[in-house]
Amino acid sequence: MQRASRLKRELSLLATEPPPGVTCWQNENQLDELRAQILGGADTPYEKGIFNLEIVVPERYPFEPPKIRFLTPIYHPNIDSAGRICLDVLKLPPKGAWRPSLNISTLLTSIQLLMAEPNPDDPLMADISSEYKYNKQLFLLRAKEWTEKYASQ
């Protein structure tokens, strides 16, 4: 019950005061399945891209973090080809930094920040990570190409 009332509160806040560049909604009246869109930030290779994400809220939420993955392909060192995201706030301690005080809005904002500032030292995609570190121009070019190919409307 706590999960349902908290999710309703979070969704209503996301509808009325969403973080800039983020939208989130219920997927076909399923309270535990949400969809989100993140707009690629200005001055990033993802600029003008619209990235779709799937959010699955576990039974134990907020004591367990939601499972979030990209549905739109994205060229990024911390996001793999299945859309999984390497981000500490998406994992429980001791490896992660999830806390029940965090919410879906915070997570989507963190993902948006990760898109703008990749963390090449904790990659899911080692090849993209080394490209980001040692050949940033090529990384930026490829990320921009993927954005145009997969995230343009």
Active site residues: 86
Coil vs helix vs strand at 10: helix
Q: Which residues contact residue 72 at a Cβ distance below 8 angstroms, ignoring those fewer than 6 apart? A: 49, 50, 51, 52, 53, 83, 150, 151
Tokens for 97, please give them.
């930094």
Contact 107, 90 (CB under 8 A): yes
Coil vs helix vs strand at 50: strand
Coil vs helix vs strand at 121: coil
